[in-house]
Every structure is written in C-alpha cells, then in structure tokens.
Chains A and B, each alone.
Chain A
Amino acid sequence: MRFLRTLLFPLVALTSLALARSSTGDTVLVLLEPSLKKENFSIFFGDLEKKGYKLTFRSPKDTTPEIIKDDVAQFAHVVVFAPETKTFAGDITPQTLVSLLSKKTNLLLALSPKQTPLSSLAAEFTLILPPPGTPLISHFPKRDTPATVVPVEPPRAHHIISDGLAPVWFSGVPQALGNSPMLVPLLQAPPQAFASDADSDSGADALVEAAEKSGEGLWAGSSLSLVTGFQALSNARATWVGGIEIFSDEYINKEISKGVKSGNRQFVKDVAAWTFQEANVLRIDTVEHHRVNETLPRETYTINNQVTYTAYISQYDPELDLWEPYSGINDLQLEFTMLDPHIRTSLPPVAGEPGKYSVSFRVPDRHGVFKFNVDYKRKGWSYLSSTTVVPIVPPRHDEYPRFLSAAWPYYAGAFSTSAAFLLFVALWLAGDEREPKKGKGSKAE
C-alpha cells in the first residue's frame, strides 16, 4: 500500500497541483442572490472548481434545484450568498437549513447589516448580532478605504487557518459569541473595531448611550468574531461570515500595503476547506476488544478480567482522497460505563503503529451490561464517538480459585477416607481367617 502511494503521489501532484477533495461529496449548491454577480466572485468559485467541486448556481427565489427532495439532501454542501434577501423560495426556510445539518450537509452562510431570516437563524447558533444597520467599523489603522472596510489580522497558530497570512479585508457585521463550545471562531475582530451606524463624529454620544443600555450594549473589541464556524453533533459544519465582500474579487485583489496583497484568497480557501469537510476530519475505523492474552473478542467477559481495548482512527487527506491512520490525538479517553462511568482512562496511541490507540485495564468486580464508550470532542475537529456493549458476568462455578492452602486438612481427610476404604476392602476380601493364638488371656477353655 505504501509503495503504491509513493508511485501515486507524484502522478497526482503532476496532474493537478491544487486537487483537494471533500470527504463527504463534491456537489455544491450556491444560492446567489440576483443583485450579486457571479463574475464578482470568480476567483473564489474558480478556486473551488479547480479543487474538483461541481458548483450549481441558483437564485434564492427559484424553486429548482431543491435542497431537500423526498427527505434526502440533494447536495453535499450549500453556500448561501443571499445576505440581503428577505424572502426565499418555499424549500429554503430556517427549519430546512437546520435539517440539512442533521443530514450531514455543510453550510456556508453570509450575513449583512440588513435584517433577514438568516439573521434570526444566526441567533439559533448562539451568535448575537448587533442591531440592523450597524456594520463593523474601525478607524485603525489609518488608511484610504472607508471606515467600514476593515483590515483584520488573521489568527496566528490556528489549526484551521494557515499561518503567516497577510491581513484580510472585511466588511460586514460582527457577531458576539455565546458560550457554546461548538462554536469555532475563525476570524476575531481587531480590538479597536466596533459596530456603529455613524458616518461622522457626531455619533459619539450615541455610542456612549448604547454602552450604558443594559443588555448587549456595545459590540466592540476582539471578543467579537467576524467569521464563525459551528460544528453540529452530526459533524456537519456551518460557517457564518459577517459580510459577503470577503469572498469578492475586489477584496482578494486589493492591496493591504504597497506591494503586499491581502490574505483574502488563502483565507477563504481555508474557510471553505474546513466547512466542506476537507480539513480536520477524523473518523474511527474500527474498535476491538479482547482479553489480554487472546486475540479474538468474546461474547462476555468475567469480572476482574484483564481486557484490552483498541481503536483505529484515521484522518482524511484531501489531496489524496484517502483516509490515513492518524496518531496525533494524545488526550483520547475511554470510559467503561454501566449507567455511570466505572472507569475512565486515557487511550494513548501505540508507538510504532500509526492510527492505533490501545489500553489494557482490569474489568470492575461488578457484573452487568457495560459499554466501552469513546467520546472525543474538540473545537475544530470532527467529533468521534463509539459505543460497544459488552456483558460482564460473574465467574462460573469452576472459575474460582482452587487448591487453596486453607483446604489442606480437607484434602487430607478425603484422601484418608479413600485410602482407608481401599485398605479395608483389600484386607477383608483377600485376608485369611486365622486361629486365634493360644496365648495369655485367651478364652480357650
């Protein structure tokens, strides 16, 4: 297998440098509202098509192609570039978009300062949007673009966004994040930025009053997120982007400073790669369990047995379209549960065997129906979960300790009885009658 891969990789690399496939499918439906032109996003869509995605374009008010037909999702991914659309066709409602997530379809949604059905859907994902009409503005750094077009430093040392990117041009709404752990912030606002509808200095008093209002007050600072990912329990990913211009050709080609292009192109490529299940995608291939000195699993295990549990985990490699064994998880945990976890122990990777995680432990001395439970959730990575039910029985009558030292007197007694019986039978059957000896004290007379 490795030999084939060393042959295959240069061939694949020669054919297409940027071929990167999604692990869940290539079909993408792009809902592009009529006021936006496809040509203005040609670089973004072109990059997606070069990677191998098949894009289908549709206006939000058209009725075909449907996103869900006969309760089956028709596309692997849906891009909703309809930030100012107030009415959608019948098959696009907040409920159908959420049901797409449970059907493992990924979503990429763009917002705008206008109030639309999408803004109320964002609240369901614990994203708190500012009042309508208040986009993000920043007076820092001094630049020739208007205050609503903000250069944002991309995050450093982030496991989704590439390192070393130039600042990214952004314009749109910031989102305040709820504390749901399923949210994955991908681009935080600069600390000097805030949401405001003003276009002159006279709006200063309104800002102070907004902050003194109880409730959300003022949307400001680096705790705001501009591009937020959300990973649902079904492992489908939904990314909310505060403004659609971040994908546009104009922003991709705009220079951050003299001669330095913006980081928009690579940034939106990374965002799309994460959203469309190319990057950071894990799965459990198989799990095994057996007694320590055996290789095959058993129907039941006995209390106090030493049992080994093994999980094989792979990561999706988008360039080769393969699932490769992955040993990089060092905080995986196994729970041995009957109603409550009786044992929770770490499941470390086995050195020398990629993708294999194994642990041996002693089964508790309670019998019952237990399950091996692996439940791994980390921000930005696919959720791993596996449950294997196994009954634990008490020892059979002949599995208890035998030949105890406390029983020696009993062994001696039993053997004595057998030996004495055999001796008596031999004496009685084989012995001879003898005349009593004429000796002292005999009653011979």
Chain B
Amino acid sequence: MVGPLSWLLASLAVLAVQASVLTLQSPRLTVSSSDAAQLRSEPLSLAHKVTPPVELRATDTLKLTFQIVDEDGKGVQPHQTFVRFYDEVTGEEGIQPVKVTAGGKAKLELNMARPPSSLPPSGKDPIKVSLYLGSFKHDPAQYELFDLFVPPSQPPAQHADEVFFHPRPEIFHTFRPEQKVPPKFVSAVFTLLLAAPWVVLLGLLAHIGPQVPYLFSSGIFPFIATLGAFEGLLVWYWVDLHLGQVLLYGAILSIPTAIAGKRALAAVGERRLGKSSPK
C-alpha cells in the first residue's frame, strides 16, 4: 500500500514543483518630480516593453511597485528579486536588489537626487531595465520592463595605465622654418656692381696698350703657370677638398712654384741688367 501511494505522492509533488510559476501582480510605474507632482503613472505590461521610454531628470523620482504571486495567487518572497540596469552601448551594468515583504509586495524607488550606487555610468544611450525573479522553489522568471534615460554621468574611472593599451595620439615635431635667402635679383645686381671696377681697369689698360713680349719665354712662363695652378688648387679646395688635402697639395705645389719664381726673378733681373749696362 505504501509503495504505490508514495509513488503517487511523489508524482504529484513533481507536478506541483513543475507548475509553480511566479508572476507579477499589478506592476505599476510612477515618475514624480521633486515637488511630488506625478509626471507619469501607468501599469506595466509583462508582455512587451513600455513605450515611450521613461525619462528622468536630475530631480525626478521613479517608483516601481508590484506584487509577486505564485500560480495560486498567493504572495511569495522569492530568493532573488533583482532589477538590472544595462547600457548596451558601453556594456556598463548595475544590479539592484528590490526589497520584498513576506507577502510578496515589492517596491523600488530610484531618486535621481541621490542615485543608488547600482545605477551604472551612462551617456546618452538608454539603459535597459529588466527584472529577474529567482527562487529555489519556483521556476525563474525574467521580464524586460522599460528603457530608461537618465542625465549623463561621469565616465567610470580609468586606470592610469589604460592609456598605454590603446593607440596614443600622434605627435609631430615643429621644425624651425627654413632660413630665408634674399632674392637672387639683389645678388645679381651687386655682382654686377662688383664687375664695375673691371670695366674701368680693362678700359685703362686698353688705353695704355701694354705688351707682354716675354710671357712665353722659358723663364717667365713656368712661374705664371704654377701661379695659375695654385689658383686652380684654391678653386678645387672651394669645391671639393678638405683642409688637410689642400695643405698637402699646396705644400707639394709650392716647391716648383718657388723654383720657377726664382728663375723668373733671375730672368727679369738679367733683363734689367742687360738693359742698364751700356753696350
């Protein structure tokens, strides 16, 4: 007798557990301003979200009241009655447990003048508000209640090293401006000015009409040539050489220059002596 009866009781118990579903009775949403004027008051639907979304200003208060009942209509206090605030765009979340009496009556008050710490940091995007009912004895239930707009908050505090984990702003160096060069026309004018003494010199020389009969003689020409080579070495130094190189080449070149110079002076001296000694 005990066997089949206990089997029957067990199956009834299982059926009872399986069928114990929690629902909300008379859920109500109220938004009131700081001077107790009711801005919005309406019952909540469990089937779909409340439209339009709820907007709270910095001084408003949101009140949410409901009663949790099981399928017999009796009020229950489940283990978990949480309201979840979730910002989908930033991923910030806050969980607020709701105070429920033993008879299942629940009230949540959200005063924006003193916001609860569970309200996550948010920007301009809506916060999705949902309700979770969890219990050891009954099946769990969750409802999407409404979207909430609150005044934007400070962003969450960042760790000092967080900056290094993202690309950092680029830095460009401001270079000193290029040195300005005076216009080429001015340089050209002054170069021409420098040519002016040459005009005078060449003109006067033409007037005198000097002659250089001994230029290609063997005494004079080597010296003129080595002097020309020295000038060439200096031009080469200006274009390409370093000081060490020009000093070396100059030292080498100075030997034939000195020899040629002595010969040239001797030739000039001989010429003079030859002229002055009467013959």
Task: Indicate whether A and B interact.
Answer: yes
A sample of 5 inter-chain contacts (CB < 8 A) reads A140-B132, A406-B187, A412-B195, A432-B214, A434-B211
| B158 pairs with A345, CB closer than 8 A | no
Stretch at the interface among B43-51, B56-64, B219-227, B247-255: B219-227
CA A178 – CA B160 in complex, angstroms?
12
CA A377 – CA B176 in complex, angstroms?
34
| B228 pairs with A422, CB closer than 8 A | yes
| B162 pairs with A179, CB closer than 8 A | yes
| B158 pairs with A433, CB closer than 8 A | no
Chain B residues, CB < 8 A from A304: 175
Stretch at the interface among A58-66, A110-118, A191-199: A191-199
Closest to A215 in B: B117
Number of A-B residue pairs with CB-CB distance less than 8 Å in the complex they form:
185
CA A342 – CA B171 in complex, angstroms?
7
Say whether A352 faces chain B, with CB atoms less than 8 Å apart: no
Say whether B170 faces chain A, with CB atoms less than 8 Å apart: yes
Q: How far is the CB of B188 from chain A (nearest CB, A)?
A: 7
| Contact residues of B between 84 and 120, Cβ < 8 Å to A | 84, 86, 92-100, 117-118
Known contacts A179-B156, A194-B82, A422-B227; A204/B100 CB under 8 A: yes
Say whether A90 faces chain B, with CB atoms less than 8 Å apart: no
Closest to A346 in B: B170
| Interface residues as binary, A212-227 with B (CB distance below 8 Å gives 1, 0 otherwise) | 0000011011110000
Known contacts A204-B78, A377-B165; A141/B140 CB under 8 A: yes
| Interface residues as binary, A139-161 with B (CB distance below 8 Å gives 1, 0 otherwise) | 11110000100000000000000
| A429 pairs with B95, CB closer than 8 A | no
| Contact residues of A between 166 and 182, Cβ < 8 Å to B | 178-182
CA A304 – CA B134 in complex, angstroms?
69
CA A140 – CA B139 in complex, angstroms?
9
Say whether A86 faces chain B, with CB atoms less than 8 Å apart: no
Say whether A294 faces chain B, with CB atoms less than 8 Å apart: no
| Contact residues of B between 139 and 196, Cβ < 8 Å to A | 139-140, 142, 156-159, 161-162, 164-165, 167-173, 175-176, 181-182, 184, 187-188, 190-191, 193-195
| B172 pairs with A343, CB closer than 8 A | yes
Say whether A439 faces chain B, with CB atoms less than 8 Å apart: no
Known contacts A342-B173, A375-B164; A432/B211 CB under 8 A: yes
| Interface residues as binary, A337-351 with B (CB distance below 8 Å gives 1, 0 otherwise) | 000011111100000
Known contacts A201-B135, A221-B94, A422-B228; A429/B268 CB under 8 A: yes
Number of A residues, CB within 8 Å of B = 71
Stretch at the interface among A47-55, A127-135, A317-325, A413-421: A413-421
Chain B residues, CB < 8 A from A341: 171
Closest to A366 in B: B173
| B79 pairs with A198, CB closer than 8 A | yes
The winner among A198, A199, A200, A223 for most chain B CB atoms within 10 A is A223
CA A158 – CA B84 in complex, angstroms?
24
Chain A residues, CB < 8 A from B117: 217
Contacting A204 at CB < 8 Å: which of B79, B172, B181? B79
Say whether A3 faces chain B, with CB atoms less than 8 Å apart: no
| A430 pairs with B220, CB closer than 8 A | yes
Closest to B198 in A: A416
Q: How far is the CB of B95 from chain A (nearest CB, A)?
A: 4
Say whether A378 faces chain B, with CB atoms less than 8 Å apart: yes
Chain A residues, CB < 8 A from B224: 422, 425-426, 429-430
Known contacts A179-B162, A223-B93; A140/B142 CB under 8 A: yes
CA A178 – CA B227 in complex, angstroms?
86
Say whether A95 faces chain B, with CB atoms less than 8 Å apart: no
Say whether A364 faces chain B, with CB atoms less than 8 Å apart: yes
